[in-house]
């Protein structure tokens, strides 16, 4: 069996042809594919504006510079990739880590307690962990009641739905961000996007993506004006051509991910392997996370990872609590009361989940997992 990673891209000839055609075109960057990809993403996510950028971290950075001020307190989750809370620090604001609920997402009831006890809290950065959005009615309630800024990190969740509300639609948030890293649902190699329904925010983000520079029709042909300290977070036309080609297949990719999730759900029924959640129509399944109580087994989590690796299967862990990272500890974090996150971290790991995972490969993963666990 070839190596089976926890996630990888699905690229076909259509994708390759799209990139090659752009290489033959007049524009490798700052060309027509940028806007085309932005408009296609806006259509897909049912949102007014999209700004595509170099990667998901750049999306978080620009959104944070646009939304936050120095010293702002921001509630966020320890259960994410580092980039989510790092972006709060980039804006010289202050992350406050809140425990997770049993679905792996930030506990919005605890967020409400924090908002009640500290009216100076300015924002929530909520991550749609593993592909499932945070509860939208609770998010709406918090946004309206406490008048807070809301950023949804939908890096895991393009295509996810809660009822009529789709991820990155910014129905109950100011901005959402997406990532197009190869392990995500659709890829541009590196790449990301910010979505918003606010024209003012959109215009600011476009400016910040390009050095804070503005060029208007009234200006002389050579003129440009720098109005903010921005960045070069542009994405190339080749990448956007790849993204456009991938986007056409996105619903198919997600349908396949759901099929794989349902097969895992069935395989783990009544076993020691507990899915973080079973299929309920909401997740677009970036990850398939399971939990195992290792105190009931003869092997440690480290043994499990190593023995699965020896069988050519790459497990992954999402995530080490961000507040426990050495850098965050050096800033005084690490002593938060997060019992649900602590227990989750002890037990969780992610199984292979990607559109091109074959049924045969998945059966091999399941059989190998039970073989290793049962010793």
**CA 292, CA 204: separation in Å to the nearest integer?**
46
Nearer to ligand PLP, 80 or 136 (CB): 80
**CA 280, CA 294: separation in Å to the nearest integer?**
27
From the CB of 192, what's the least distance to ligand PLP, in Å?
5
From the CB of 371, what's the least distance to ligand PLP, in Å?
30
Nearer to ligand PLP, 18 or 157 (CB): 157
Nearer to ligand PLP, 56 or 166 (CB): 56
Nearer to ligand PLP, 83 or 355 (CB): 83
Is the Cβ–Cβ distance between 73 and 98 less than 8 Å? no
Is the Cβ–Cβ distance between 23 and 228 less than 8 Å? no
From the CB of 263, what's the least distance to ligand PLP, in Å?
24
From the CB of 184, what's the least distance to ligand PLP, in Å?
7
Instruction: Locate the DSSP E strands across the chain.
Output: 49-53, 73-76, 94-97, 121-127, 149-153, 161-162, 165-166, 175-179, 192-196, 213-214, 225-226, 274-275, 288-291, 348-351
Residue with smallest beta-carbon separation from ligand PLP = 56
Q: By the criterion CB under 6 A, which residues form the site for ligand PLP?
A: 55-57, 60, 80-81, 83-84, 127, 153, 155-156, 179, 181, 192
From the CB of 130, what's the least distance to ligand PLP, in Å?
9
Nearer to ligand PLP, 179 or 350 (CB): 179
Nearer to ligand PLP, 107 or 366 (CB): 107
From the CB of 337, what's the least distance to ligand PLP, in Å?
23
Nearer to ligand PLP, 167 or 368 (CB): 167
The 3-state DSSP class for residue 349 equals strand
From the CB of 21, what's the least distance to ligand PLP, in Å?
25
From the CB of 188, what's the least distance to ligand PLP, in Å?
9
**CA 274, CA 347: separation in Å to the nearest integer?**
9
Is the Cβ–Cβ distance between 139 and 150 less than 8 Å? yes
Is the Cβ–Cβ distance between 126 and 134 less than 8 Å? yes
Is the Cβ–Cβ distance between 288 and 322 less than 8 Å? no
From the CB of 36, what's the least distance to ligand PLP, in Å?
20
Is the Cβ–Cβ distance between 29 and 54 less than 8 Å? no
Nearer to ligand PLP, 83 or 369 (CB): 83
**CA 85, CA 95: separation in Å to the nearest integer?**
6
Question: H-helix or E-strand containing 15?
Answer: helix 13-23
Angle at CA 286, nearest 5°, toward 128 and 13?
Answer: 135
Nearer to ligand PLP, 83 or 276 (CB): 83
Of 70, 108, 63, 104, the residue nearest 87 (C-alpha): 63
């Amino acid at each position: 069996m070839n190596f089976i990673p926890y996630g990888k891209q699905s690229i076909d000839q259509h994708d390759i042809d799209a990139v090659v055609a752009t290489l033959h075109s007049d524009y490798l960057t700052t060309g027509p594919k940028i806007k085309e990809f932005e408009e296609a993403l806006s259509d897909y996510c049912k949102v007014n504006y999209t700004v595509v950028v170099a990667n998901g971290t750049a999306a978080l950075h620009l959104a944070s510079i646009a939304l936050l001020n120095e010293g702002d307190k921001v509630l966020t989750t320890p259960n994410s990739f580092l980039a989510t809370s790092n972006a709060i620090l980039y804006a010289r604001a202050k992350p406050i880590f809140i425990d997770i609920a049993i679905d792996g997402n930030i506990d919005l009831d605890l967020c409400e307690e924090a908002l009640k006890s500290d009216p100076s809290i300015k924002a929530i950065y909520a991550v749609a962990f593993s592909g499932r959005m945070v509860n939208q009615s609770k998010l709406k309630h918090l946004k309206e009641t406490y008048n807070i800024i809301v950023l949804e990190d939908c890096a895991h969740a393009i295509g996810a739905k809660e009822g009529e509300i789709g991820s990155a639609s910014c129905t109950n948030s100011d901005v959402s961000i997406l990532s197009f890293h190869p392990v995500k649902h659709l890829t541009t190699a590196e790449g990301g996007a910010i979505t918003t329904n606010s024209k003012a925010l959109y215009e600011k983000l476009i400016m910040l993506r390009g050095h804070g520079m503005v060029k208007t029709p009234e200006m002389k042909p050579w003129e440009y004006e720098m109005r903010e300290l921005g960045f070069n977070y542009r994405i190339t036309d080749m990448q956007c051509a790849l993204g456009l080609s991938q986007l056409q297949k996105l619903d198919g990719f997600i349908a396949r991910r759901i099929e794989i999730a349902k097969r895992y759900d069935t395989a783990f029924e009544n076993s020691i392997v507990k899915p973080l959640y079973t299929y309920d129509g909401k997740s677009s399944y970036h990850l398939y996370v399971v939990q195992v109580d290792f105190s009931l087994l003869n092997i440690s989590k480290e043994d499990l990872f190593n023995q699965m690796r020896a069988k050519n299967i790459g497990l992954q862990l999402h995530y080490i609590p961000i507040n426990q990272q050495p850098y965050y500890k050096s800033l005084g974090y690490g002593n938060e009361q997060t019992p649900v996150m602590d227990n989750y971290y002890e037990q969780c790991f992610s199984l292979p989940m990607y559109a091109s995972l074959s049924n045969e490969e998945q059966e091999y993963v399941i059989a190998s997992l039970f073989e290793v666990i049962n010793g």
